[in-house]
Structures are given as C-alpha cells and as structure tokens.
Amino acid sequence: MSKARSGVDGSSGYSAINQGRPGSAIYPRSALGEQHEGIATGRDVAWEPLVDYRRNDVSETTIHGAVAWASGSQIVHSFGGNVLCYGRSMMKPFMMKVFAEELEPVLDWKQKAIGCASHNGDTEHVAAAQSILSEQERPLMLTPLDVPLVQFGRQVRRARRWYHCCSGEHAALLRGCRLKGWTRAGYTLPQHPIFEGYLEVLRRTLGDDWKPLRVARDGCGLPTTSNTVNELARLYASLVTERGKDWTWEAMVRHPDLIGGFNRLDSSIIKACDGRVIAKEGADGLLGMAIEHPDYPEGLGIVIKIAHGWDSQATWYIARAVLGVLGFDLRNPYKMHRQKAFIVPGVVPDDLVSALEDHPTWDEWDPDDDRWYYDMERHDDSGFGRLQ
C-alpha cells in the first residue's frame, strides 16, 4: 500500500486540515506562525526581565514578562510593553458581575466565592460548587473532565467535571441563567447572552466602543477575550471603586481558600492583606491584583504577565515585591536551592524603587550550606580554591 501524500503542514494528504478542507480555516499553515495586522506576537513585544535567578552572582535564569499599574483610567506605570493576551480565569470576578443581582439573594458566601474561583479541586471546593445546582441540573454543566489541580498522596481519582478548576464558575453561570430566564443550552458559546453581558461589564470600564481584537475558547470551554495588560490593569482598578456595588469582593475576602486553595498565590495574597487586596490567577502566566490604597483614591490595579506562561514561584517573588513597597507583607515562596532570586527594579514605579531593597526574596532560615562558594583568589597547596 502506498503512503498517503504529505501536506505542506506535515499532515497526511487526506487530512481534514489541508488547504480547502474543513479544518484549514482554523489550523496554522506554517510552523513559523503567521502575522496579522494589529496583533503582535510574543516575538514582537518588548518583554522585559522581571526576575533574575543567580548562583554566586552569575545569572542562570531570567524570567521575562510585563507589568502594568493603573489607577482609575490612567496607567501609572508600565514595564515590559502593553502586551496583548487573553484574560483567561483572571476575569472570573467580572463574569460573575453579569449575574450579581440575581445571585445575591440565593447563594451563600461560599457559593459566591467558588463562582469566582480557579480551585484546586479539594473536597471543600467540589462541595461548594455542587451545592449551587440541584442534582437534576448538574448534567447541564460542560466543564471538561479533569482531576484535581493539586493532589496529595497516591493519585487514584478518576477525571470528573467537578474536579475541573472552573466548575464553580460554570455552576454559578447555569444558576444565573435560570434566574434570568435565559436558555442554558449553549451557555459556553459566544452567541449566548452570557458573553454579551460579560462584554457589557468590560465596556463599563473600557468604553462603549471597546471590542476585543480576538475571542478564543478558554480551557474550560467558555469564551475569553483578548485584552492588553494595560486594559486588564484598568479593569482591576475598577474592582476597588466598585467593591461596594456587588458581592464579588466580599465573597473573595470571606473565603480566600476557595478562590485557589492550599499554597495558591491568589489565596495567599488575599489572606495576607486583611481585606484590602483581592487577587486572581489566570492562565497562562497572569496575576491580577485589585488594591485599596490611600495613595490611589481611584483604586489600584496591577497585572503581572509572565512571558513563558505560568510560573508560580517567579510570579510570587514579583507579587511580594510589588505588595511590599505598598505596605503589605506577603511571605516568600519556598526557598530556591543554592540560587537566589533578584527583582528587576522596573516592576515598580521609579519613586518606589528604593523600597525594593527592604523586601528580599530569601528568608533568614536559609541554611548555611546554601553558601558553598569557592574563592578562586585563594589557593591551597593542591591548587584548588578553598571553601569559604
């Protein structure tokens, strides 16, 4: 039997993605990618170093990304370029605002919090998400089958929809649709009223004429819009000024461990900041923080985007530095092994750079064996450098 012809994309000549076939319109044609006017790729944007990992003064790894600070409608600091990305799960508090009025009297605080969550899939997360829907309604939920995001011990769980980190959001959306009288069929599609309602929430901050350059399907099946990091920072600043208008802020502050879970960055930030900061992680490499601060009466929104995708440790270092210069104390993540992380000054505005030195990325309990440096200027009789 002869081999099938190979297409320009490396696929079989009979593949559905070849030119003129049904999949060709959405499938890339080149391994190098394609350029579209007005949409910069990751090769084109001005990423900047954010964190530098050094071993005995030599940089071994440098984490690039972008940071934006916004207060009201103004960008007060930008570093790494106004990158276009998808808001992903960082935007769940805004999605919940579509149904804030309807869900207010019918959900308890745990149910409201899990609606804003990208949870680990612990038993408390699953229980809170399931409690939003009746048993008869649960088959309507369309989250993908998944296992818990963070698991401990022997992994014996089979994939279930409720373990997916977005199950609480999907359950809340379905409940909201019922209360509004909207059809629940096709609730994950961009043609559904949910998505138009979500766009209206974003336009309250970004302007009536705003529209996304691209809409894509998120990992959970819901549509996600493209936004610049500056836009995302403005949206997070609005969470501060609108905090009393609905329940989203209070729900996240009341139950921070439902938002992410054990040792998750967003949960840790919310708990460390005594109700003055809400934080939300988002794939891929996003962290949004809405900060109540006396120096920023119009609210402060800070968004961190890691260039290579999600990196909880690097993002944690940056968040600790940013919150530290604003007067909040976030613990360091687990220590590095014989490396140290150093923050690049550009992650904060110029007038706050001097305060960065007071927030090191290492703790006093680092053991002495972390310092096995060689002094090559001093030699013993054998010619090898002495241990310090």
pLDDT at 27: 79
Question: What phi and psi, each to the nearest 5 degrees, are found at residue 306?
Answer: -85, 130
Residue with the two structure tokens 């369309």: 142
Half-sphere exposure of 181 (CA within 13 A, CB side): 0
Taken in order of first residue, the domains within the chain and their CATH numbers are: 63-358 (3.40.710)
CA angle 366, 369, 372 (to 5 degrees): 120
Contacts of 368 (CB under 8 A, 6+ apart): none
pLDDT at 26: 76
Residue with the two structure tokens 């899990």: 114
Burial 333-350 (b: 16+ CB within 10 A, else e): bebbeebbbbbbebbbee
Q: What pLDDT digit, counting tens, does each position of 154-194 carry?
A: 566 789 999 999 999 999 999 999 999 999 999 999 999 99
Confirm if 115 and 92 have CB atoms less than 8 A apart: yes
Question: How many CB atoms neighbour CB 99 within 10 A?
Answer: 22
Question: What phi and psi, each to the nearest 5 degrees, are found at residue 381?
Answer: -65, -25
Residue with the two structure tokens 């600043």: 237
In 3D space, the residue among 240, 235, 271, 234 whose CA is nearest the CA of residue 253 turns out to be 271
pLDDT at 5: 44
Q: What pLDDT digit, counting tens, does each position of 227-250 carry?
A: 999 999 999 999 999 999 999 999
Parts of the chain with a pLDDT under 50: 1-9, 387-388
* Rounded distance between C-alpha atoms, residue 323 and residue 343, angstroms: 13
pLDDT at 34: 84
pLDDT at 13: 60
pLDDT at 1: 40
* CA-to-CA dists, residue 30 to 63, 130, 277, angstroms: 28, 43, 44
In 3D space, the residue among 317, 306, 307 whose CA is nearest the CA of residue 363 turns out to be 317
pLDDT at 380: 57
* Rounded distance between C-alpha atoms, residue 272 and residue 93, angstroms: 20
Respond yes or no on whether the N-terminal peptide bond of residue 368 is cis (omega within 30° of 0): no
Radius of gyration of the chain (CA): 23
DSSP class of residue 68 equals E
Give the tokens for residue 187. Answer: 């609730």
Q: Please state the pTM of the whole predicted model.
A: 0.91
In 3D space, the residue among 263, 306, 262 whose CA is nearest the CA of residue 288 turns out to be 306
